[in-house]
Structure 1
Amino acid sequence: MNSNDSGSAAAATPEACLPLIDGLAVRPFPETVFQDAIGDGGPDHLIRVLHRSRDFWDAEDPQVWEQVDAELSACLDALIAVCTARWGDPLVVDLWAGYGDGAGEDVPEPLCTLSQVTTSMYAWLLPGGDRWLGLALGQADKELPMELLAAVGLSAALDGVRDGGSADGA
């Protein structure tokens, strides 16, 4: 994980994030549920924070947040381009419509966790067909850090969105 307390997300570069994404894509799922400072996981998923910005408790100037958002969005866009070149067009998963509205359905991980911090993610089916990789920007609350996130889950977790559920064309 990269963190920069100045409010700038300059350390969030595709060059720094790609090795983390590549490692996550092939890493075995853990046998038990865990959570640590840079993510969480379980028998069917992994989530990693690729970059975490400063927090915004004392950021009264909205330009601070806007600068961090712009820099992390640019890094996300670059990562999306690399992943699209590797694996084709992504699914754009609307996490709010399907999961974040508190409908009470059993939501598979990591979609449940991601829906608590972001409204959408880009996802690609990985070679082999049993896993997918997703990328998103998240922020649990306006005072908390913004996070560039990568997630890997079982393909079955995306069955609803692949079958016309909460996805957009990209």
Structure 2
Amino acid sequence: MDIARHIALIDELCHRPFPAGHGPSDVGAGTPGQFTAVLETSHGLGGGCPAKRAVTVEQYEKDRDALHERLAARWGEEGDPLNLQTILLRTDREEIPEPWAQLSASARVAYLWEAGGTGRWIALAVADRDETDEVRLLAVVTEKAPP
């Protein structure tokens, strides 16, 4: 993992204009009001060996934690990680805005900051809920505060 490259991308996304429509972007996906950047992705683990998947999830969690350390030094500790399970459970009875609904369907926890002076929120998460999909280390940059 290249921490400096990932932080530079997150910084760029904090200032880049959001796309006008939905679709893929050079970093992953973009929609009005948000970017979802895929920082790292596994290859061949969707529906593959559970043991290899577990090792990859553990490594991506360490990578997420390393990024968290660097970003927390800049933006401060915001407390405990955001428990996305509680947001996922709320989707049954209320409308959760994007990107939070999709992120809660993909990942279990996220580190979260409001990037000072930008009006944007940043979330770091490991998307590993869907065992038929690849494991991904994600950075979400959005103008919508978490629910």
Give distance in 1, aligned partners of 2:135 and 2:2: 15
2:68 is the counterpart of 1:80: yes
In the superposition, the TM-score normalised over structure 2's length comes to: 0.85
Task: Report if aligned partners of 1:76, 1:148 keep a CA contact under 8 Å in 2.
Answer: yes
Give 1:28 deviation, angstroms: 1.3
Q: 1:46 aligns with which of 32, 35, 39?
A: 35
Deviation digits for residues 29-71 of structure 1 (CA, Å, limit 9, x no counterpart): 1111223585222222111101111132574361x22321222
Q: CA 1:61–1:132 in 2, change beyond 3 Å: closer, same or farther?
A: closer
Give distance in 2, aligned partners of 1:33 and 1:151: 15
In the superposition, the TM-score normalised over structure 1's length comes to: 0.74
Give distance in 1, aligned partners of 2:72 and 2:3: 14
Give distance in 2, aligned partners of 1:42 and 1:140: 22
Give 1:72 deviation, angstroms: 1.2
Alignment partner, residue 99 of structure 1: 88
Alignment partner, residue 19 of structure 2: 30
SS in 2 for 1:116: helix
- Structure 1 gaps of 5+ residues are 1-11, 161-170
Alignment partner, residue 71 of structure 1: 59
Using the aligned pairs only, state the percent identity: 28
Q: 1:60 aligns with which of 49, 73, 79?
A: 49
2:102 is the counterpart of 1:113: yes
Q: 2:133 aligns with which of 140, 144, 147?
A: 144
Structure ID, larger Rg: 1
The number of residues matched between the two structures is 146
Give distance in 2, aligned partners of 1:44 and 1:57: 29
Task: Report if aligned partners of 2:90, 2:96 keep a CA contact under 8 Å in 1.
Answer: no
- Structure 2 gaps of 5+ residues are none
Give 1:101 deviation, angstroms: 5.0
